[in-house]
Chain A
Amino acid sequence: EDKVVQSPLSLVVHEGDTVTLNCSYEVTNFRSLLWYKQEKKAPTFLFMLTSSGIEKKSGRLSSILDKKELFSILNITATQTGDSAVYLCAGGVNDMRFGAGTRLTVKP
């Protein structure tokens, strides 16, 4: 059975801290891994990763994929309160399998 597991399920940090969110996947049909940020109802797209070892960066966020270990991480440096959200990862092709998400809370 396909599954995507994220850890930790929740995380509380203070502004300025650096966090690493983890995503492991076992997906039969895999082409890419996606990261989303979900603040209210609709997730917003962060990264799409298709190749191992190539880090993608966007401001304070970065992510990398390891297709051998079936693993991805999302790093957020110098966290801000606006980073508080649920971070979702998903793997697959068309019918992406989503993890349960990591709820990040950044305190002032």
Chain B
Amino acid sequence: GAGVSQSPSNKVTEKGKDVELRCDPISGHTALYWYRQSLGQGLEFLIYFQGNSAPDKSGLPSDRFSAERTGGSVSTLTIQRTQQEDSAVYLCASSLATGRSRETQYFGPGTRLLVL
């Protein structure tokens, strides 16, 4: 595709429910990142996938958060037993992972999650 796509664009859920957020990276990009941006805050790193390597999960805020990347392409971020503080925009980014272009990340439009 032309860019990183995410779905849904908006999600409203009730506290305690599970949600799944999807990211389709740019074709050919082997690196994929999840971030979240709470209202008025900077971007917070969540998780990083690179090819077939074990993901860097160091940014996941709790064990309620998990992410998968199937076939080295599409990724799903799952939040279990959602809490109101999980409300944020969840952004996905992808990048080539070759040399200095590794860190040039291209972002998707995000999913705005509201937990009531």
Contacts and interface: CB of A to CB of B under 8 A. Distances in A.
A32 B103 contact: yes
Given A42-B91, A95-B59, A100-B41, A50 B100 contact: yes
Size bracket of the A interface: 20 to 34
B110 A41 contact: yes
Interface stretch (A12-20, A62-70, A72-80, A86-94): A86-94
A31 interface: yes
Interface stretch (B44-52, B61-69, B76-84): B44-52
Nearest to A99: B42
Given A50-B100, A88-B42, A98-B42, A45 B105 contact: yes
A65 to B, nearest CB: 13
Given A45-B105, A45-B106, A98 B100 contact: no
Contacts of B44: 98
A21 interface: no
A34 B104 contact: yes
B105 A41 contact: no
A43 to B, nearest CB: 5
Contacts of B31: 94
B56 A95 contact: yes
Interface string B86-116: 0001010000000010111111111010000
A48 B103 contact: yes
Contacts of A93: 102-103
B104 A96 contact: no
Interface string A31-58: 1101010001111110010100000000
